[in-house]
Amino acid sequence: MRLWPIKAVLNAVNLSTVLGLGVGRLGHARFSSGPRGLILATEYGLGFPQVPAFTIGNVVLSRHSHAWLDDRPEMLLHEERHSWQYAALLGLPMVPLYLLAAGYSYLRGGDFGVHNAFERLAGLGDGGYPSVSARESRRRG
């Protein structure tokens, strides 16, 4: 799919990439170019959120190194799918909508990702999420 330049422009115009760059600067991240117009903000230093990587606009933020992300192409694809979600939702509305979906997922299954529509659409397995919550796993077992 060669539409990523359009997504990059949309996320710049809708200010979500600007927000991602700002969050990366706040976390003293190291910025570098990633695949298909993504900006990698590695060695992100803030303790929140407690995930290996997250995306704001076209910026993929990670507390890990660039090499760590390179060794996990599925995770990078997962995060790239989130960047498409920002473009589809016109940028910043993605933030409260994502938080609502994460809250719903937590209330339903005790996990922020398993029942979160945004994580499911981005590919749970690619993002390192289990396919069922721990609560559901205990019920089944």
- Give the Cα separation of 136 and 138 in Å (integer): 5
Residue 93's CB: how many other CB atoms inside 10 A? 12
Copy the structure tokens of residue 101: 């979906």
Axis-axis angle for helices 4-13, 16-26 (nearest 10): 70
Evaluate if residue 140 carries a pLDDT over 90: no
- Residue labelled with tokens 């933020």: 61
pLDDT band at 128 (very low <50, low <70, confident <90, very high): confident
pLDDT band at 138 (very low <50, low <70, confident <90, very high): low
Instruction: Based on DSSP, count helices (H) and strands (E) in the chain, helices before strands.
Output: 7, 4
pTM over 0.75: yes
- Give the Cα separation of 117 and 72 in Å (integer): 22
Copy the structure tokens of residue 23: 């969050």
Q: Give residue limits of the domains in the chain.
A: 4-140
Per-residue pLDDT reduced to its tens digit, 69-87: 999 999 999 999 999 999 9
